[in-house]
Amino acid sequence: MPLLPITLYGDKILRKKVDRVKEVDNETIELIANMFDTMRNAYGIGLAANQIGVNKSIFIVDITEVEGYENTKPMVLINPKIIKYSDEETLFEEGCLSIPDIRAEVKRPESITISYQDTDLKEQILEVDKLMARVMQHEYDHLRGILFTDLIDPELQKEFKKPLNKIKKRKVDINYPVSKTTDYHLVL
């Protein structure tokens, strides 16, 4: 499976709301497998389709490399929708493969209920908490054109302006394939 270039901060597709998936064909299954290879190569734990230039409502999660989550099953969520957020919120440091070398604390609900379709397009509902809930919220935001840097303190956003501009201009050292232009879109 080829590694796919990851879109970076400033890439237009990261700010778009993605399209719903209407069918899962062999091309979609191959895309999902490539997404897992790409994410693992970059040492990520979640990846949304628009992060590899694909305008589809798909994200994957694999937190098995995180201590305490070794037995957690990797997941594919198609056309996800968070249907319930807990009142309890937690602050936790987040990073993003599309925003390398920048990390910040983000406040999010501790648990969520999410509906999605599996690769057979069968409806599923799942309640998750802690790290899994955080990763799913982060990836779900990607599908809606929201980045974790949008959710941080405005003063910190100002502080990140220069580093984000460097990322946008591809003036950062990244050890995984990235999109070459801000107009990158993977043609399937």
**CA distance linking residue 38 with residue 136, whole number of Å:** 18
Nearest Cα neighbor of 14 from 158, 139, 187 is: 139
Using the structure block, give the residue that is written with the tokens 């040492």.
Answer: 43
Nearest Cα neighbor of 59 from 114, 170, 4, 140 is: 140
Out of 30, 94, 139, 159, the active site residue is 139
Using the structure block, give the residue that is written with the tokens 């998750």.
Answer: 128
Determine contact, residues 117/78, Cβ cutoff 8 Å: yes
> Catalytic site residue 139?
yes
The contacts of residue 143 (CB under 8 Å, 6+ apart) are 17, 18, 48, 49, 50, 57, 59, 80
Task: Enumerate the active-site residues.
Answer: 139
